[in-house]
């Protein structure tokens, strides 16, 4: 390495060292400024601190406002809930009305009917319409006949001797159908169990 190169390298190292020193000095100055700002803020806080009575009054006021807001919220939600329960079934009832209309028409024509097969067909149509309506609302029949007796789904009315070996411990007859509403049992099947 030549003298020029050594001198250039030495100058470069000195310049780098000088830049590093300047950066450290700048960082120290920034830290000192931040400490000074914090001290000034603390002094201002010390001057503006409230007395204990003022703090207590402020907290008490906040508490009273919060309690009043909560009371208003509670009253409003209770009122909304009462209104909802009054009108909750309105949608279902409005949709049942066409089925009632169909029944009234069928009853009106029952006395004049000469063809009983037509009457039976009409009643079957009304039944299918109503069954479809309740299926759309999430109501589903519990299958019970010749199924294993299950106390979570069935209510045994009586036990009878099973007509054959396969029906022992199973449902022999369904007296009243049971129903689910979205997988929750809303009415248990009333059944006769074979033993």
Please write the tens of the pLDDT for every residue from 67-114. 999 999 999 999 999 888 888 778 788 888 988 999 898 888 888 878
Stretch(es) of the chain classified as CATH 2.30.22.10: 140-195
d(CA 118, CA 131): 20
- H helices within the chain, ranges in order? 3-48, 52-87, 90-110, 116-136
Stretch(es) of the chain classified as CATH 3.90.20.20: 61-137
Question: Domain 140-195's class?
Answer: mainly beta
What does pTM read for this prediction? 0.52
pLDDT at 126 over 80: yes
- The CATH fold assigned to 61-137 is Hemagglutinin Ectodomain; Chain B (3.90.20)
Strand ordering across the sheet containing 154-160: 154-160, 189-194, 171-176
Paired with 156 in beta bridges are 191
Q: Dump pLDDT digits (tens) for 133-186.
A: 999 989 999 998 888 898 899 999 999 988 888 888 889 999 999 999 998 999
Q: Helices 116-136 and 90-110, interaxial angle, to 10°?
A: 180
């Amino acid at each position: 390495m030549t003298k020029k190169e050594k001198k250039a390298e030495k100058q470069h190292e000195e310049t780098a060292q000088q830049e590093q020193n300047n950066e450290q000095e700048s960082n120290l100055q920034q830290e000192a400024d931040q400490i000074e700002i914090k001290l000034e803020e603390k002094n201002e806080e010390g001057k503006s601190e409230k007395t204990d009575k003022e703090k207590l009054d402020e907290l008490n006021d906040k508490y009273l406002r919060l309690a009043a807001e909560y009371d208003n919220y509670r009253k409003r939600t209770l009122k909304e809930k009462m209104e909802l329960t009054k009108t909750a079934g309105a949608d279902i009832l409005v949709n049942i009305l066409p089925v009632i209309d169909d029944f009234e028409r069928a009853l009106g024509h029952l006395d004049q009917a000469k063809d009983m097969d037509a009457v039976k067909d009409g009643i079957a149509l009304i039944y299918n319409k109503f069954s479809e309506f309740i299926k759309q609302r999430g109501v589903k029949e519990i299958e019970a006949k010749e199924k294993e007796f299950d106390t979570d789904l069935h209510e045994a009315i009586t036990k009878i001797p099973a007509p054959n070996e396969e029906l022992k411990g199973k449902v022999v007859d369904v007296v009243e159908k049971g129903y689910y509403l979205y997988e929750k049992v809303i009415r248990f099947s009333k059944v006769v169990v074979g033993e």
